Structure formats: structure tokens, C-alpha cells
Amino acid sequence: MENLEKIKKIIPLWYAQRKWAEELLVQSFQLEDILQPQYRGVKLIPGTNWMYRTHGIGVDIYRTADVGGIDFDFNKIEPDAWRLQTFFEKQYNEGNLPLADYRDLYEDEGLLRSVLEQVLR
């Protein structure tokens, strides 16, 4: 499988993971409230083993640093190259992508960025 096809395959996973993350936040908080001052920062999502970190107009949900979850901005419906790269790395580190198939992209950041930019054009 070529690198472009590999990255194209993770885009639907990005959308599904974002929807899951939004639902997780709705279950624990009012979705829009997560950006209020009392919820900002790095905190455990109640009743789960997931953490969240708010930033600007977005949130990063993860198990441990760089493992699992997704980082997204509420005002951006589509993934950009940076968000898709961090998503790819989180999913790879979580073991959700076949390690042998994606290893070259994971180990070569320049190649990964180039492929991401090509796919998102």
C-alpha cells in the first residue's frame, strides 16, 4: 500500500474519533462548557481513564502524552496537516494502526508531513 493510501485510510478514523471525543465531553460536561475557565487546564475526564487539555478554542484528549485520543479545535470541522499528524502519532503509539505498515511514515517526519500535505490538498 502506498503512503498516500495509508494516510487516506486514517482520515475517516479522525472523524470517528472526533465524534467519539465530543460525545465523551458531552457525557462529562456540557460540550461548550469545556472551554470555560473552571474547566480549563489538564484534567481527568470523570469516570474514565482519559485526560484532557484545553487550548485556545480546542481540546486534546489522550490516555497519556502522545498516546490515544485526538486533538481538535471546535471551530475547525476538517483536519489540517498538523492535527492529522498528531492524530496519526497518537493512534500509532496506541497500537491502533498496523505498526509494520505505518512505521516508515512514523519514523520519517519529513515524509509524513509531505504525504499529509498531498492528501489534504
Can you give the pLDDT at residue 62? 96
pLDDT at 59 over 80: yes
Binning the chain into helix, strand and coil, the percentages to the nearest 5 are 55, 15, 25
What is the pTM for the complete model shown? 0.90
Write the pLDDT tens digit of every residue in 71-118. Answer: 999 999 999 999 999 999 999 999 999 999 999 999 999 999 999 999
> 115: which residues sit within 8 A by CB, 6+ positions away?
3, 4, 6, 7, 105
What pLDDT score was predicted for residue 31?
65
The percentage of residues in the chain with a pLDDT greater than 90, rounded to a whole number, is 84
Three-state SS for 56-97 is CCEEEEECECCECCEEEECCCCCCCHHHHHHHHHHHHHHCCC
pLDDT confidence of residue 32: 65
